[in-house]
Amino acid sequence: MNKKTVLQLCHDYSVPYLDVARQYASLFKGTDYRVITVYLIGNKNSEVVHYTDSDEVLFLENCSKELRGLKRKQIKQVKQLCQQYDFDFIIAHRYKAMFIARHIDNMPVIGIHHSYGNYLRFMRRWYVNHHVKNLYLVGVSNAIRDDIRHYLPNYPQEQIQTLYNRININAVMEAQVPRYEAREHLGIAQDAYVFSNVGRLHPDKDQKTLISAFAKVAHKLPKAILMILGKGRLEAALKQQVKDLGLSNKVIFTGMVANAVNYYRAFDAFILSSDYEPFGMVLLEAIMAEVPIIATNVGGAKEIISQQEWLFDVGDDNALAERMLAMYQLDSSQREVVNTKNKQFLEANFTDDAVKKAFWQLPFMAM
């Protein structure tokens, strides 16, 4: 019997979208579909081919500038591929790829949305509302799904669904550096208690609230330090905040750390202070490193952390300080309980197997 064929149309293979392509290719393992993954932007790359893990990987080798405007060239390229491969449907990542795919007559298209605000622009709302047939919109969290529904209130709601991002458990676990070595690499004293934050130094990540909260409890936590991994435009302001609070010997800015996820076992707690979080892959990575988490009660983060007592409202430094103190006071058995619950929730919802099951249960996959 001939296999059916699905086109996975990707904007590019930059981080994190290369792993996203792998995730979606994995949905079809063991099925009667073969997956052809196509990258609109980027030159041919054998490592990308290997990691994408599809039946075939193609590179259209456009540049970013060429994807502006009406995208006639790219539409023509994809139409030619459709004539060659006779695809059954298309999975398109990000709006531009979805726009291109939707120009294939009578082709079912599943548009994957990875961020908020995809339909802030009037013309995008107008376009999808006039191309409802065979166009299915998926958010990688309920928060993004609800954002899409907010901007498209008249769009058929059953055609706007959630399919979570997921984590490659084996790859993350294999890359983890043991705690002692990770601390050596990051220059952390072996007896320190480390609160950590990983991300751009940007208003969206709200490290200002994190530092303010730490200042409220630092005097009660003699062995605690706060380590912030990342760079960004707020670096000078945040360092000045630390200096003004007298915490220069307790807060460490590492700058960018290559392959930072490999060193998460150096940490005793992970804090996500973001006021804007479409999903929160960094939380899944921390869970697999067996690091307990405190996170803002916002966006995709609250969908990943099932234990509500470790969530706090955006900007509430008092609540965050209370949770940091409570986390610090956990004994080893209590930490194990927190980690076990997080991991069980992850395995039930955010693995390739869990999301594969959810994918085939989407209402429009009966098409």
CATH code for the domain in which residue 321 is found: 3.40.50.2000
Residue 157, pLDDT > 90, answer yes
Residue 245 is classified by DSSP as T
Residues in a beta bridge with 255: 229, 230
Cα 230 from Cα 202, distance rounded (Å):
10
286 with 346: CB under 8 angstroms? no
In this structure, the strands spanning 269-272 and 251-255 are unpaired
Are 69 and 183 found together in one domain? no
Name residue, tokens 């990875």.
114
98-123 pLDDT, tens per residue? 999 999 999 999 999 999 999 999 99
Are 326 and 360 found together in one domain? no
Are 23 and 53 found together in one domain? yes
334-359 pLDDT, tens per residue? 999 999 999 999 999 999 899 999 99
The stretch 95-100 carries a mean pLDDT of: 97
Cis ω before 16 (30° cut-off from 0): yes
In this structure, what are the phi and psi dihedrals at residue 2, rounded to the nearest 5 degrees?
-70, 140
Using alpha carbons, list the distances in angstroms from residue 7 to 84, 89, 148, 309.
12, 7, 23, 42
Are 146 and 230 found together in one domain? no
Are 199 and 337 found together in one domain? yes
Are 137 and 80 found together in one domain? yes
Are 231 and 90 found together in one domain? no
Does pTM top 0.85 for this prediction?
yes
Q: Based on the number of CB atoms within 10 Å of its own CB, is 183 exposed (0-12), middle (13-18) or buried (19 or more)?
A: buried
Are 94 and 214 found together in one domain? no
Question: Cα–chain-centroid distance for residue 187?
Answer: 28
Contacts (Cβ under 8 Å, ≥6 apart) of 194: 188, 224, 225, 226, 227, 266, 267, 268, 269
Q: What is the pLDDT of residue 367?
A: 59
Using alpha carbons, list the distances in angstroms from residue 289 to 43, 200, 283, 295, 324.
34, 21, 10, 16, 19
Are 141 and 81 found together in one domain? yes
Give the pLDDT band of residue 277 (cuts 50, 70, 90).
confident
Structural domain tally of the chain? 2
CA nearest 24: which of 144, 111, 151? 111
Are 174 and 71 found together in one domain? no
Are 226 and 274 found together in one domain? yes
Residue numbers of the domain that contains 175? 169-349
26-49 pLDDT, tens per residue? 999 999 999 999 999 999 999 999
Are 226 and 94 found together in one domain? no
